[in-house]
């Protein structure tokens, strides 16, 4: 196993980095997991909360919530005002790094198009159910189990 000692990017302490995932130590990871749990619980009770209300109520930095959005652990319900855009074509996004069209194109190139189409449709359905503001809800982590 390729384990190396690194500085935690949150607190700066040395820790054994397993070679994948965020470069943060187990202590900071625990703090982050708890923060994520708070956000998740809050969004479960208030599914339409905006990023800033959520950040303030849960005492979590907006940048951190934005990071979770990028990782698709959270998702905006509504596309306007999210400040997220597709890394490939610049289209506004509710979560993640690439829009459904670009993902589909990448998937076509990789020969896994069907999987992505279903995912995109599911996402479009969810987005239809909404109406105003840059709202968020919790995204389950059981999609396309990796």
Q: Which residues make up the interface to Zn ion (CB under 5 A)?
A: 8, 10-11, 25, 28, 86, 88-89, 91, 99, 102
Q: How far is the CB of 114 from Zn ion (least distance, A)?
A: 19
Nearer to Zn ion, 53 or 71 (CB): 71
Of 60, 96, 79, 93, which is closest to residue 131 (Cα–Cα)? 79
Nearer to Zn ion, 49 or 107 (CB): 107
Q: What does the alpha-carbon distance between residue 88 and residue 44 come to, in Å, rounded to a whole number?
A: 31
* Burial (Cβ within 10 Å: 0-12, 13-18, ≥19) of residue 22: middle
Q: How far is the CB of 111 from Zn ion (least distance, A)?
A: 19
End-to-end CA distance of the chain: 20
Q: How far is the CB of 103 from Zn ion (least distance, A)?
A: 8
Nearer to Zn ion, 6 or 133 (CB): 6
Nearer to Zn ion, 101 or 122 (CB): 101
């Amino acid at each position: 196993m390729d384990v190396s000692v690194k500085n935690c990017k949150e607190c700066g302490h040395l820790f054994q980095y397993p070679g994948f995932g965020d470069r943060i130590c187990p202590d900071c990871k625990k703090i982050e997991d708890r923060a994520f749990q708070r956000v998740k619980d809050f969004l479960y009770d208030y599914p339409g909360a905006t990023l800033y209300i959520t950040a303030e109520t849960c005492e979590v930095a907006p940048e951190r919530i934005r990071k979770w959005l990028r990782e698709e652990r959270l998702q905006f319900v509504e596309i306007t005002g999210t400040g997220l855009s597709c890394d490939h074509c610049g289209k506004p996004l509710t979560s993640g790094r690439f829009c459904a069209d670009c993902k589909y194109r990448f998937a076509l190139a990789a020969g896994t198009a069907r999987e992505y189409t279903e995912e995109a449709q599911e996402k479009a359905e969810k987005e239809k159910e909404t109406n105003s503001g840059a709202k968020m809800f919790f995204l389950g982590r059981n999609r396309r189990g990796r």
